[in-house]
Structure 1
Amino acid sequence: MSIPCGHRYCVNCVKNCWDQKGLMGDCSCAQCCEAFSQKPAPQKKPILAGIMVRRLQEVSREVHTRRIFKNEVQIQPHCVNGTEKPQSTAPQVCPQHNMDVEYFCVVDNCCVCSLCILEEHKNHEMVPIEKDRAKQERQLEVKQIEIQHKIRKKQQKLEDMKWTVKFVKNSARREAGKCDRIFADLIHSIEKSRHELNEMIRAQEDAIVKKADDVMGQLEGEIEDLKKINLRLRQLSKTDQCHFFQNFKTLCIPSKGRDLPKLPRSVDGSFENFSRELFSLKQQVDKLLRRALMKVTQNAGKAQIYSVTCPERIRRETFTPYTFQPTLDRNTLQRKLWLSEDQRMVTLGRESWPYPSHPERFDQLHQVLCIESLSGARSYWEVQWSGRGAMIGVTYKSIGRKGAGNDCSLGRNNKSWGLWCSGSMYAAWHDNQETKIAAARCHRIGVYLDYPAGTLAFYGLSETAMILLHKFETTFIKPLHPAFCFFYHYPGFYVNFDSSITICQLSQSAQP
C-alpha cells in the first residue's frame, strides 16, 4: 500500500501508526515527515500487490512440497507390509492459497489459512486450530463417555429383556404343565367315576336279568305242566263213561301256580336322579370353563407386571462385617406361634398357646418382632423359611398390634417393609403397594439394612449364588425391628400350618 507522498507501507502498520497519532492530532509520513491535514486513505498498487501475492504463493508451495516429501518418508515404513492403509499425517492445505490452514472460521464452519483471514473471511470469528482441537477433543472424550454409558444401559436393558423372555417362557411352560396336570387329574377322576358307574349299571342289570331268568324258568315249567293236563283232558274225552267219571274230578281240580315277582322294565329308575345330577354337573363345568377362559382372554392384555431384572450377583463376604443374629421377642408373639427355647425359630401351629397378655402382643395376625432395634449402622442377617410361605421384613415399633387391619400387617402400611416368599412367587410390600418379583425360588433369604443410606435389600441365597431380589430406598426416621409374618393378603391363598422361620447362625456375629 502507498500513501500520497509515494512511500509504501504495510497496510496494517500504517493504519495502526496513524490511529495512534490521530489521538494527538498528528498524521504524517514516518520517512519524509510530510504532514497531512487529514488522515489520507492508503492506496493499493495492483502491480506490486500482485507480485507480493505470487511470491507468497510460491513460498507456500515450496514449504508444502517439503512437508509432503518429509511425511511420505515418515509414512513409507508403515506401508511395507501393506496390511493397513496409513492415515496421512500431512497438515491440511488451503486450496486457494496453498498455505497450511491454521484457523477455524466459526461463521463459515471451515478451516482457513492466514491469507483467508485478510480476504473473504475478514472480520469473521476465528479460533486457532491447535487450541480449539484440544478443547474439542476434551468434549469428544466426554461425548464418548456418555455414549459408552448409554451403550451399557441399552445392553443392560437388552439383558433384562432376554431375562424377561426367558422368565415368560418358563412361566408359560410351568403354567401349561400345571393346567395339563389338573386336566389330567380331572379326566382321570371322570374316567374313574364313569367306570364305577358302568360297573353299578352292569351289576343292577345282572341282578334284574337273573331274577327274570328265574321267573322265565318258573313260567316255562308251569306251561309244561298245563300242556300235560290239556293232553290228558283231550284223551279223557275219548274214553268210556266209567273211565271218564273216575278221572274227571282229578283232572279238573285247578292247579295253584306260584306268585311271580314284579321286575322293573329298565334301570332308569335307579339312576334317574344320578343322571340328572351328572347332566347338571356337566352344565356347571362348561359354564365355569367358559367363564375362566373368558377371564383369561380379557386379562391377556392386562398381564400382571413383574419386576423382572437380570439377577445381580453379590459376594456374600461383602456383608460379613455387618452380620448379627436377631432375637425373637416373646412379648410380641401371636398365640398360634410357637417359639423355640433359643428364641431363634418360630412355627405356626393349629392350637393357641397360653401366653400372658401383653400390650405389644399381636392378637390376630400371625406376626412377631425381634428385640433388637436397628439405627445408625449397617446390619445383615439371614433367615430360613419353610412351608407354604412367610413374610420377612422390618418395622417401626409403633406398628399396630390389635386387629387384622393394614395398620397392623407387615408391609401394608408406611411403618413397615417386607418381602413375601412362597413356592410360587416373591412380592415386595410397603405402604400397601405390591411389587411382584420374578426370580428363582430360595428358602434362605439375606437381609441387608443400611440405615444411614436409607436402603433395605433382600437377597436370595443358594449354595452357589447370592442374587438381589429387591431393594427399598427411603429415609428411615425411627429405629427398626426385624419382623416376620405368616399371613398374606391374597385372594384364594391359605397358609399351611407348621410353616416356620429360623434365624440362621452366621460364621461371624457382631451386634449392631
Structure 2
Amino acid sequence: MSAASNLSSEDQFLCSICLDVFTDPVTTPCGHNFCKNCITEHWNTNDRCQCPMCKEVFISRPELHVNTLFSEMAAQFRQSAQQKTSSSEQQESKPGEVPCDVCTGTKLKALKSCLVCLASYCETHLEPHLTMSGLKRHQLIDPVENLEDRMCTKHDKPLELFCKTDQTCVCMLCTVLDHKMHDVVPLKEEYEGKKVELEKTEATIQQMIQKRRLKIQEIKHSVDLSEEDADREKAEGVQVFTALMESVERRLNELIKTIEEKQKTTKKQAEDSIKELEQEISELMKRSTEVVQLSLSEDHLHLLQSVQSSNIHHPPPTKDWTKVSVPPASHERTVRRAVVQLEETISKEIKKLIKAELKRVQKFAVDVTLDPDTANPELILSADGKQVNHDEVWNSLPNNPERFSCCVCVLGKTSFSSGRFYFEVEVKGKTKWSLGVVRESINRKRQITMSPDFGCWSILFNNGNEYALADPPVRLPLKSERQKVGVFVDYEEGLVSFYDVDAAALIYSFTGCSFYNKLFPYFSPCKNDGGKNSAPLIISPVNQTD
C-alpha cells in the first residue's frame, strides 16, 4: 500500500488499450499489464496473439490470471484520483478567475501561468512543471489571462526587459535592434522601482484618505456643536420668551386691575353724587308739596300766619351743583405707563441676552498681532505688535505690495478663511478710530471706500459720532464713548458683530456677508489731529465678561 502512495506517475496505472485505470489487471509473459477484458478483446479481433506494447508474438494464447496485488494498487489509485477530481471540482474557475488551458470540458481554476509555455495550469496539469527537470526551469507566475500579450509582437519572444528610454517592455532581440543604445534594465528591476513608487503613491493616498476621514469627523463634530448651540438657543429662547410672556401677562393684569379700580372709584363717586342729589330732590319735593297745599288754602289769616311763622317760601338748603362733575376716567397714561414698564423689562432681557452672547463669542478669542509689513508709513507700532498710533511723519519703509500707502491703517498678521474668531481693542481716549475686518484682496495702494462692497466690514468713531461703514453709512446710537470694542466674525455664517465690552452691549452687526477669501483684522487709529487723537489703539487680552 505504501508503494502505491510513492508512485510518481499515473501512467503506471493506465491500460495502454483503453487509456483508463486498470480493471482486473493481468500480466502478459512479456511483462506488460492490461485490463483483462481489453487484452482478451484485442486478441479476439486479431489474427495473431501478440503484445500491443512490445509486439512480441505468442505461439499460443497465454493463460491470464488477475494480478491481485496490482489490482488493489490500481483500485487505490482510482479512489485517490476520484478524490483529487472531487477536490478539483470544488476549484472550478469562476467568472473573473483564470481557467486552466489544458482542462477539457469543465475548466478548473488555474494555480499558475507559465511564461515559457504561455499557458495556465490547474493543480493537476501543473504537476509536470513541479516534477520534471526540464519544465522546472520554466518561469511560473500567479495566473494571468492573455499570456500572448507578454510576448513581443514583433519578435515573438518573451517581454523580459524594460526600456527606460521609451518607457516600454521589450524582448532580448529588441535590445539589439530597435532599442540599441537605450537604457534597458531587467523587468524585475523596473518592477521593484515601480513598486516603490506605487507604495509611495499608496502612502499618499492613505494620507489623503486619513485627512478626509478627519475632515468627516471635524464636520460631524461641527454638526454636534451646532446642535448643542441650537438646543441651548432654543432653551434660552423658551426661557426668555416665557419670562416676557409672564411679564406681559402680569403687566396686563395690573393694567386691567388699575383700570377697573379707577372705574370703580369713578362709579362710586357718581353713585354718591346721585344719592345726594336724590336726597335733595326728595326734600325739595316735600317743600313743594307744602307750598302747593298752603297756596290752595282760602283762609287768609291762616296763610299769612303760616308764611310769617316759617320759611316755607324759601327752598331748603342745598349744594351748589354747578361746580360738581364726575368726568369719565382716563386710562391713557395708565396704558402708556404699563407699556413703558414692559419696555424696560424687555430691555433688561435683551441686555441679559447680549451679555450671554458676548460671553459665548469671547470663547473664540484669538491672539492678534499687528503686521508691520502692512502698516501705513505714518503709523508707529509697538515692539510687541499690540499698539498702533499715528505719527504725522512719513517713515521710510519698503513699498511692498502688502503695505497700505494711502489709508492710515494696518492689518493683523494672522488671516482667517473659516470658523469663528474674536478679538478686543481698547479705544479709550481717542477722538477718532476705525475697526473691523477686510478681505485679503482689498486695494492697498489707493484711497478706498470703506464698505462691504469693497471688502471691508468696519465701524468708525468720529468726534462723538459713530457709524457702521455700510453703503450708505449707518449712524449708530451712542450714549457714552466706548472704552473697549470687541469684534466677532463667523465666516460660514457671514456675520461680523461689534460689541461694547464694558457695557456688554451690541453695537452693530453686518449679516449675510460674502467673504470669498481670507479675512484680516483691520485697525485704523486715524490721524493724530495735532495731538488730540494721539492715544493708541491697543489690542487687549480677552477677559470673560462677568
Task: Give the TM-score normalised by structure 2.
Answer: 0.37
Q: Which structure exhibits the higher relative contact order, with contacts defined as CA atoms closer than 8 Å and separated by 6 or more residues?
A: 1
- Which structure's CA Rg is the greater one? 2
Please report the TM-score for the alignment, with normalisation by the length of structure 1.
0.39
